[in-house]
Chain A
């Protein structure tokens, strides 16, 4: 009855991401299903403990998605009506939605440069007001950026009394140059288990923080702020549970926690593969006319490699190149600048973001991308660009 694979991927020679799920992953999920315990149980606890250990955070709290995580981060950071939160215009729209879900206002900031689509102090500083409550730094495409810039931003936020939150949805395993995981500079960070990532399970995410009170608040709000129903209470010491405040259902369930936990065991190996592929892209594309690399070779070394963005001359070229690559069977993607979306329309707010959004192409990258498939991608890009100059 289930539709064949063709219903999902009819035409691609090289997909944007094509992560394989191993038989050991599948067997782990089967075992959880056989147990009959499907939510908030030992696998979620184990995932949280393991993720905290690997990322170096004191606390990890699994949630239904990174979007849910961002909402909880804003809520637990105290964002409410009248508060402003600064978000980079090159990010995913969930970053902009999250402050508004708390009744706050989203203020879009421009990026450092088209070749480094991240927030820096220079972009944030002019937007700080008395109402600024938080800044969400987004590790776009899995890159934490240059060492100094990230630390400067953290220092700046601390000086101004503004909470720094980190969206690491695309950056599982990415590190700062000193070796610490992303998510560790701010009050809290969050990661995604969306399907197209190294830790993909379908829908899911996880929050990391070193702050015990923040972790407790997030944990409570994740499940409707219900006071826990422990075995002792159940045996008659307390009749029921209470609900202390307005919470949500942002729980992960046990099958997904199991899959994330299983995949987490291979994260380091996946990151090594991704780094090799990213380095190869930089070599293969270095001499290709019309292509500009993003980030630096050094930044690539400690990145999470969610996608591999490159720039071409202008928006018209980009659209034509992506279309020709599509016809050649190579899938690519591109992110809109948030200030050009209907919901956040403010075209002049972030010119560098608009320029990046118009000119970038995110190329396929995933741990199992073969050398020959990578060559197909590069050839398709070169052919498309060659067509531009009439060659």
Chain B
């Protein structure tokens, strides 16, 4: 556990510190591709955490927002010849649009019902993508998202180079972190805390709990959609599994590992998960067993997650 005063000071400069971390991170990583993956899944987990950690809503359908963003980006580029930046924008909007549809139906429920409704609706999105193979490539996934160069105000960046690719993705992640920090510090952020802490009191204060949840769900969809779009550019393909419920489970694990409700925890969770997966799979094919055991140990002994425990100490 770190001293409280130090934690408070870091919290004030959380965006700057995060950006510094993003700049150094690839230099200490053995493979740049994993670093990119960690950023993308970290961003996905961050979008999920806004709903789960900040608002207290456990969604089991976030694959639809992440995958929706990936498909929206891929379809814009493959079928409509959109430039890369428009693809990313399409991914962001796609995530928000799917979040709006799922959210409108799911926010009426809570607890386990909310988890189940989001899971079911996300599976609907999966089957739609599976069936609409002319558009989405069906079970083969959406192929041919070929972005080699990134042009920005006359600046040409070779997107094939792993380090360049990392910094392009990191730029979007940094922007997302800045936006998230603003949201958490805003009046709406205060409402999110209030709704999580006590729904009945929030309502009595005059807050429309349903509308608050809906808006938070859509914002979460924006972050996840952006992560999906970056994933599509990174992989040059959108595998159909992106939409499958395993992806939803993955993000729950990452958020819990890192520490729900912490600012930077999602990246720690994504990093630990993906590094474990990569390292353990070097010596055994049963890597999931090890990662699963680590997850169970974390939930049992460090319920605040890795980052939450570092910041606040172990929960009593």
User: A and B: partners?
Assistant: no
The chain B residues found within 8 Å of chain A, CB to CB, are none
